[in-house]
């Protein structure tokens, strides 16, 4: 009888062990699934941050805030090398510690991490110690993980996460953090292109208008405040004839006068740039195509009845230059510009460059004599 009871108990204990093992596996599977879902949410938040109408600096700060909130990180700092020096691009650490944080590449333990492209975990064993890279601080961070950042195998900086508790990252899943790091790199790679565009924006010499690059930076911030806008590109179709038949100086004045007239009659809510050569772009932010038809018809009619000629002073200056450069100075005629317009709808979140490319292709392939307003 006792033997039977023991056997039954052994079977029950065995069943409970198997049951507990299965429950443990299910919990781990659920935790992994939950972590994957959380990672997907973080990636989505990153993408939203990239698409926001903000500067590169603000976007990097935003993704750092996302990391701190989503993964409950005590301290998170992103440092990027700008070609001249290391700069703290985002951090929730007191700025008085930033000088130390942007010099971590000089610490031997982190040099090895950078050279091997592997993360480095450092911690102290008790509250009375401090991490090797800390200078004027003592009790803020007691453990940290350092991640070197690379774009296309080129070292660009690092991300360091810190905690005020010793050994706080002993059981952290490094593979998850590696995924986060790669997401940070993806964001940095994306905003680098935006930063490049922001840095090469210039104003056109003759018109005072911003160049094409402005549309993809500051201009896009204005346009993307609305769900739908109308992009208009127009081309001065007889500018080459004016330059050849009369003189280039008169052609330049035609471009200047047209730009000034449109700018004076355009709302400040809209974006107006010199796109390339005789082509210009007007972005009617928040306005559908039907809402710009009357305005464009009026503008086209006024400009194409606008006689443009050089002043007496401009002719005299041109004559003086012609005597010293042997250029012809016979530029007394009056020019009448002719314009060809193409418009298209632009939806926030879609490819602005694709819309502009479509408009440009239409104008470049249109008959040379076409002078119209075409919705494509």
**SS3 for 70?**
helix
1 token code pair: 């009888």
Closest of 300, 328, 89 to residue 185, by C-alpha = 89
Closest of 55, 63, 74, 136 to residue 101, by C-alpha = 136
pTM above 0.75, yes or no: no
* Cβ–Cβ < 8 Å for 188, 60: yes
* Cβ–Cβ < 8 Å for 373, 352: no
> Could you give the C-alpha distances from 7 to 2, 4, 11, 13, 14, in angstroms and in order?
9, 5, 6, 10, 10
Pairwise CA distance, residues 79 & 141, whole Å: 17
Q: Along the 376 residues of the chain, how does pLDDT read in single tens digits?
A: 667 655 666 666 665 555 555 555 544 543 444 444 455 565 566 656 555 545 667 778 888 888 888 778 889 999 988 777 888 989 999 898 888 898 999 888 899 899 888 999 999 988 778 888 876 665 678 999 999 998 878 888 999 999 988 988 888 777 778 878 887 887 777 666 556 555 556 777 778 898 888 888 788 888 988 999 999 999 999 998 888 887 888 888 899 999 999 999 998 889 999 998 899 999 999 999 889 989 999 999 999 999 888 877 777 777 666 654 444 445 667 888 999 999 999 998 788 888 999 999 999 999 888 888 888 8
* Cβ–Cβ < 8 Å for 353, 220: no
Burial (CB < 10 A; 0-12, 13-18, 19+), residue 305, is exposed
> Could you give the C-alpha distances from 234 to 24, 31, 307, 353, in angstroms and in order?
67, 57, 19, 16
- Which pLDDT tens digit goes with each residue over 54-112? 566 777 888 888 888 877 888 999 998 877 788 898 999 989 888 889 899 988 889 98
Q: Please list the helix, strand and coil fractions of the chain in percent, rounded to the nearest 5, in that order.
A: 50, 20, 30
């Amino acid at each position: 009888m006792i033997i039977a009871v023991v056997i039954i108990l052994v079977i029950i204990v065995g069943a409970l062990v198997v049951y507990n093992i299965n429950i443990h596996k299910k919990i781990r599977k659920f935790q992994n699934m939950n972590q994957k879902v959380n990672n997907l949410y973080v990636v989505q938040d990153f993408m939203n941050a990239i698409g926001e109408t903000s500067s590169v600096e603000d976007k990097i700060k935003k993704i750092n805030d996302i990391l701190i909130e989503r993964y409950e990180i005590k301290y998170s700092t992103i440092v990027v090398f700008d070609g001249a020096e290391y700069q703290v691009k985002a951090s929730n650490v007191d700025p008085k510690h930033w000088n130390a944080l942007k010099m971590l590449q000089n610490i031997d333990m982190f040099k090895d991490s950078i050279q091997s492209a592997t993360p480095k975990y450092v911690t102290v064993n008790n509250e009375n110690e401090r991490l090797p890279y800390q200078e004027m601080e003592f009790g803020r961070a007691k453990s940290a993980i350092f991640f070197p950042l690379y774009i296309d195998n080129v070292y660009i900086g690092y991300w360091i996460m810190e905690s005020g508790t010793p050994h706080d990252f002993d059981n952290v899943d490094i593979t998850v953090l590696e995924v986060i790091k790669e997401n940070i790199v993806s964001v940095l790679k994306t905003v680098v292109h935006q930063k490049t565009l922001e840095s090469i924006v210039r104003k056109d010499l003759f018109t005072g208008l911003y160049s094409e690059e402005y549309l993809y930076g500051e201009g896009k911030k204005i346009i993307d405040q609305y769900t739908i806008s109308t992009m208009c590109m127009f081309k001065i179709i007889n500018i080459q004839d004016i330059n050849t038949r009369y003189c280039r100086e008169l052609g330049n004045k035609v471009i200047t006068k047209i730009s000034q007239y449109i700018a004076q009659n355009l709302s400040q809510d809209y974006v107006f740039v010199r796109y390339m050569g005789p082509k210009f772009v007007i972005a009617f932010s928040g306005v559908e195509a039907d809402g710009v038809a009357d305005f464009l018809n009026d503008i086209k009619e006024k400009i194409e009845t606008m006689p443009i000629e050089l002043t007496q002073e401009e002719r005299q200056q041109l004559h003086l230059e012609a005597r010293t450069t042997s250029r012809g100075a016979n530029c007394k005629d009056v020019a009448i510009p002719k314009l060809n317009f193409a418009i298209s709808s632009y939806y926030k979140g879609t490819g602005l460059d694709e819309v502009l490319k479509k408009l440009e292709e239409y104008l470049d392939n249109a008959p040379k004599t076409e002078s119209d307003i075409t919705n494509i």
